[in-house]
Every structure is written in structure tokens, then in C-alpha cells.
Amino acid sequence: MIVAGDVHVEFRHGMLRKKLHALNGINLDVRDGDFFALVGQNGAGKSTAMYCMLGLMKPTSGKIEVMGRVPELGSELYRDVAYLPEEPHYHLYLTVEEATRYYASLYGRRVTPKKIDDTLERLGLGQFKSLPLSKCSKGMKQKVGIAQCLIHETRLLFLDEPTRGLDPLLVREFREALREIHQRGATIVMNSHVLSEIEMLANRVAILERGKVVAQDDLRSFLTVDNELYSVAFEANGSAPHYATSVERTGNVMRADIPKDKLYDFMQHTKGSGLTLYECSLKKNSLEDSFFELIKGEEATD
Amino acid sequence: MTELVQANLRADFAYYRRSRLLLAFMLVFLLLTSLSSLPAFFGDSGVQSFNALQEIVSNLNICLMLLSGGVALFVISSHLRNRSLKMVFTKPCKPSVWLASAFLSAVIVAMLLHLVVLLSAVGLSYWWHVPVRPGLVFILTDNLIASIGVIAYLTLLASVAHPAVAATFALIFNADMFYAAHEWTQGALQSGHAGLFMRILDKAFDFLYLALPMVQAFGKQTETIYQSYRVTHGSWKYLAYALGYAMILSAFCYLTSLYALQRRKYI
């Protein structure tokens, strides 16, 4: 669906036109039907990579192909593409209904007023049709962006930090809408800082650090199980044993990591002290754990 | 293509209706024009009424030209500055279509404003019992054509610079300004100040006068019409010439703006 090969983007800034490398030869491979997440710290190059895929920015060198074509502003390629930018890059002077109709009509296909009404109703925007976008919350604006995707059933959707600034209820609604679009067969490319959200939605992840892709794989490969470490939760009464790491106490429950070779000692310790053991399982690494490990590794090599 | 142009025009008209900045800009110019035209309403005789009508139309013409330019400047720069074009160019709508629609929408607004002024001038003529002369139509058509040139020039400037810089540049860098400057250096040279600096300045002003767009390319030839509101049979051709000039200028400014828009590193 999208192939990026050795893409470099350089900016020049300041009086001396100093060079700044936004992307340092990234390679990306987004397959048909993927829910692909770009993850990275601020300034890692996520948005730049997305702008290059969208044709909004031209790479200094390297090649990007989307659905077999080089993305160019306003080209026919976009008949199957929808893009939700970060706030506030919408036409804020238009009302919800006008903006939905405008964005829908830019696809050059006829859209009936009924379809627009139905889509707005479905997204819970029916009663806000005449409200200018400048007065809408971020969630409502994002729903206007989602509407274009539902109206034209686009094959490829780009999302730039879609849930930033949304309340938990809207995040859940938004997530459901994205799942629906993905299940319909659309490919989704999203960049986000919210790693827990990516764990819930994405099936493939690329981690970017200082303009480079440091890892790119299926989400499963980032959610590893550590065979040498156990996660335990037990009754908090006194201190944790000295070999326990990452100790956290919440109310009457203590959580800690125990090395595999100390598990027997730990069992003896809880039994001897009469403590209740609530949980004991092999430690699972989250996307966040893998992310920090990779970032740390990258910093160490530099 | 037609559907895309229509969609963009609808969006642009919504912008014109709701932009508070544009509204403030329009109100300021209308207020200034009204104030400067106010004395003209207090004449009694027929001659005074004709002079008053001339003054009002002349003031409104300047106001319309500035408003038309302002409309183009605002519509281009506001979309570029708030980056909403990302939403347009990531759909099958090319920058060329969007730019043409923005230009066209400003021209349509200019046409409507000129029509309102024409009807108002005709109304005033009847009210003051001043005969409606064809010169009125000629002058407003000529002014509309000149406004199209101003719209094109400001479309170009707004595509490459900050709106404040674009507006300042347009006020300073136009052929009329350098025509006056060139006449001044010519006068200085003829009166014996023929130093190297003055000669260089003269050449520079002459070059700029020739290179920069003219507001009224055939102003000299149509000067008498503006004074008498009478149009001789042979004068109508100057409207066609002026339109030709405005079209060439518009085509140049459109293509240059499009090039600048496509060359932007970041939309």
C-alpha cells in the first residue's frame, strides 16, 4: 500500500541556513489492510514522514509510493485517501454541515444531502450541523474528518495525533469509529504518542527516533514475554524481599518483579509471613517497555 | 472539474460572509469613502450635482479597487496561514483548481460590488436629475478591469509573502508609483542635476515602471471620459485593450502563484 525507501528530509533554518535532518533515510512498508502506527518522541519525524506520504512535503531524496504512485498534491491518488490533521487545520469558518459537504464534494463524486445528514447523525453531529467549526470542540472536528471517510469509504486513512486533547468518552467513540473503518477493509496510518491506544488498535508499528526507523514490525513482536522475570502482586505487610524490583504499593497490595531463580524463595517468604498472593505470572512487556528499551539502546549507540 | 470549482467557490463565499477581518476592512474603507463623499451631497445646481456624482463615483472606484485587492489578499493568505489547504490538496483537487477558484471568487465579488456602485450611481443621477451618461458604465467597467489586475497582483503577492508585507509591497511597488518617480528624475535631469546617481535612479525607476503591473494601463487615453462622462465611438476599444492587459497580467500572476504554491516545502 505504501512503500518508503531511504527517505531523507532536510530543512534549512536560521540566518546561516543551518541544515536540520528531519528524516534520515527511513524505510517503511505499510501493507494493504494494516493499521499502521508511527511511534516516537516529539521531533522524531512522525509528522514529517506522514506529510511525505501525503505529498504535502517533498523528500530531499529517496522514494515514496502510495498505492503504486508518487503522491502529488491534489492528484487522482487521493480519490481513495482521507486525512485527519491535527487541530486546527480545518476550514474553521464553515459550519459542520458545510465543511462535511465541502470536503465530500472535493472528491469529485456526487453526494446527496441525505447521505451527509445520515453520516452526521451517525456520528452524533446531527444537532450541531449549523455550528461553525471554530466553535466546535476538537472531538467534533475530528468527527467531521471521520465523516469524509465514511461518506466515500476511502481505502486509506491518515491520522495525525487523532486523540490528542479528547476526553475519555470521545476517545472511546473515536476508537470504535476507527475499528469500524478498519474492519471495512481500509488501511490506516496513524501517528500518536499514546502507546496504550496503539496497543489496542494497531497491528503494525514503526518506532522512529531522531529521523530514523529504529524498529518496524508486527505489534505482537513488541509485546514480548520475559521468561526470566515474574510479575507478582501480594498482600502488603512489611517490606518487600531484597531481590524484588520495580516495587509499587497501592493500598493493601504490593506489586513487584521477581527473578525466575528467586521465585521459590519468594513463595517461601509469602507462606512464612502468612501473606496472601494475589497474582503471579511471567512478566509481559508492553509496547511502552519495548519503546523505552529501543530508545535507550539507540541513545547508547550514539 | 466544474464541481470542484463550484465547491471551492461556495467555501470562499462563506469565508467572505464570515471573515470579521474582511468585514472590518470593508467597513473602514466604506466609512472613509462615505466621509470623503459627504460634502458632495450638499450642492444645489445641476452642475454641482454632476460634480458631486463624479466625486462620489471616483471615491467609490478607489474604495472598490482596494476592497477587491483586499478580498484576494485575505482569501489566499488566510487559507495559507491556517494551513487548511492540507484538507484540500489531500483530496483530488489540484492547487491549480483551488487557486483559480480563489481568484474567480474575488473577481465575482468585485463584479457584484461594481454592479452595486453602478446601480447606486444611476439612482443618484435620477434623484439629482443628472442625465445618465454612457461614461458611467465605461468608467465602472474600466475600474472593474483594473480591479481584476489588482486582484491578480495581490493573489501573487499573498502566495509568496505575509499579508502585511504583500499589502505594503503592492502599495509601493506598482507602475503608477514609479511613473511619478520617473517623471521626477526626468525633471531633475533636465534641470541640470545629471549626476551618476540621478542617472542610475532614473534608469531604475524607468525599469520598475515598465516591469511592474499598471493599475490603469490606458489611463491617459481615457482621461477625458473620466472628466466628462462622454464616450466617443472609438473609446470603447480601450476597454477591450485594458481587458487584454488584465488577462495577460492575470495569467502571469496565476502561473507564478501556482509555481510558488507548488514549491512550498510545507503546505
Please write the tens of the pLDDT for every residue from A218-244: 877 777 777 778 888 888 877 788 888
Tell me, yes or no, if A106 comes closer than 8 A to chain B by beta carbon: yes
Q: What is the pLDDT of residue A178?
A: 85
Whose CA is closest to A104, among A79, A85, A124? Answer: A79
Closest CB from B6, B84, B89 relative to A73: B89
Assigned C-alpha cell, A15: 540566518
Residue A118 has pLDDT above 60, yes or no: yes
Residue A245: pLDDT band (50, 70, 90) is confident
Mean pLDDT within B154-158: 93
Residue A149: pLDDT band (50, 70, 90) is confident
Per residue in B61-119, pLDDT (tens digit) is: 888 888 899 999 999 998 888 888 888 888 888 899 999 999 999 999 999 999 998 99
Q: What is the pLDDT of residue B265?
A: 67
Greater confidence, B143 or B132?
Answer: B143
Give me the percent of chain A exceeding a pLDDT of 70.
98
User: What is the C-alpha to C-alpha distance for residues A245 and A241, in angstroms, rounded to an integer?
Assistant: 9
For residue A176, count other CB atoms closer than 10 A to its CB: 10
Question: Rounded to the nearest 5°, which phi and psi values hold at A75?
Answer: -75, 170
Q: Considering only A181-190, B11-20, B72-81, B229-238, which range has the smallest mean pLDDT? A: B229-238
Mean pLDDT within B176-195: 83
Residue B12 has pLDDT above 90, yes or no: yes
| CB contacts, 8 Å: A103 with chain B | 87, 91
Closest CB from A77, A93, A107 relative to B19: A93
Q: What is the pLDDT of residue A87?
A: 64
Residue B18 vs residues A127, A228, B12, B22, B224: alpha-carbon distances, Å: 21, 64, 10, 8, 40
Tell me, yes or no, if A56 comes closer than 8 A to chain B by beta carbon: yes
Residue A101 has pLDDT above 60, yes or no: yes
Q: What is the pLDDT of residue B46?
A: 57
Q: Considering only A36-40, B42-46, B184-188, which range has the smallest mean pLDDT? A: B42-46
Mean pLDDT within B17-34: 82
Per residue in B236-263, pLDDT (tens digit) is: 889 899 999 999 999 999 999 999 988 8
| CB contacts, 8 Å: B23 with chain A | none
Å between B137 CA and nearest CA of chain A: 36
Q: What is the pLDDT of residue B152?
A: 94
| CB contacts, 8 Å: B89 with chain A | 55-56, 73-74
Q: Do B82 and A79 make contact, defined as CB atoms within 8 angstroms?
A: no
Q: For chain B, list residues whose CB is within 8 angstroms of any CB belonging to chain A.
A: 3-4, 6-7, 10-11, 14-15, 18-19, 82-84, 86-98, 262, 265-267
Residue A3: pLDDT band (50, 70, 90) is confident
Residue A185 has pLDDT above 80, yes or no: yes
Å between B248 CA and nearest CA of chain A: 26
Closest CB from A76, A91, A98 relative to B84: A91
Greater confidence, B14 or B232?
Answer: B14
Instruction: Please confirm whether the linkage preceding A88 is cis (ω < 30° from 0).
Output: yes
> What's the distance, CA B69 to chain centroid?
5
Q: What is the pLDDT of residue B14?
A: 93
Residue with cell 467572505: B16
Q: Do B84 and A90 make contact, defined as CB atoms within 8 angstroms?
A: yes
One-letter amino acid for residue B196 of the chain: L
Q: What is the pLDDT of residue A301?
A: 67
Q: What is the pLDDT of residue A167?
A: 77
Residue A302: pLDDT band (50, 70, 90) is low
Per residue in A275-288, pLDDT (tens digit) is: 888 888 888 777 77
Residue B43 has pLDDT above 80, yes or no: no
User: What is the C-alpha to C-alpha distance for residues A14 and B59, in angstroms, rounded to an integer?
Assistant: 45
Count A/B contacts: CB-CB distance under 8 Å: 95
| CB contacts, 8 Å: B267 with chain A | 56-57, 73
Residue B231: pLDDT band (50, 70, 90) is confident
Residue with cell 526470566: A228
User: Residues near B213 by Cβ (< 8 Å), separated by ≥ 6?
Assistant: B149, B152, B153, B174, B175, B249, B253
Residue B155 has pLDDT above 90, yes or no: yes
| CB contacts, 8 Å: A93 with chain B | 14-15, 18-19
Residue B241 vs residues A24, B174, B209: alpha-carbon distances, Å: 55, 19, 19
Residue A28 has pLDDT above 80, yes or no: yes
Residue B142 vs residues B55, B71, B183, B239, B241: alpha-carbon distances, Å: 16, 19, 25, 6, 10
Angle (nearest 5°) at CA B151 between B231 and B237: 25
Q: What is the pLDDT of residue B45?
A: 59
Closest CB from B3, B262, B265 relative to A73: B262
Residue A114 has pLDDT above 60, yes or no: yes
Question: Which of B90, B96, B264, B267 best tests the A interface by mutation, with the highest count of A CBs <10 A?
Answer: B90
User: What is the C-alpha to C-alpha distance for residues A107 and B3, in angstroms, rounded to an integer?
Assistant: 9
Assigned C-alpha cell, A28: 517503511
> What's the distance, CA A138 to chain centroid?
17
Q: pTM value?
A: 0.80
Tell me, yes or no, if A92 comes closer than 8 A to chain B by beta carbon: yes
Q: What is the pLDDT of residue A1?
A: 82
Closest CB from B15, B93, B95 relative to A106: B93
Per residue in A190-217, pLDDT (tens digit) is: 988 888 888 888 889 888 888 888 888 8
Contact between B212 and B178 under an 8 Å Cβ cutoff? The reply is yes
Question: Rounded to the nearest 5°, which phi and psi values hold at B252?
Answer: -65, -50
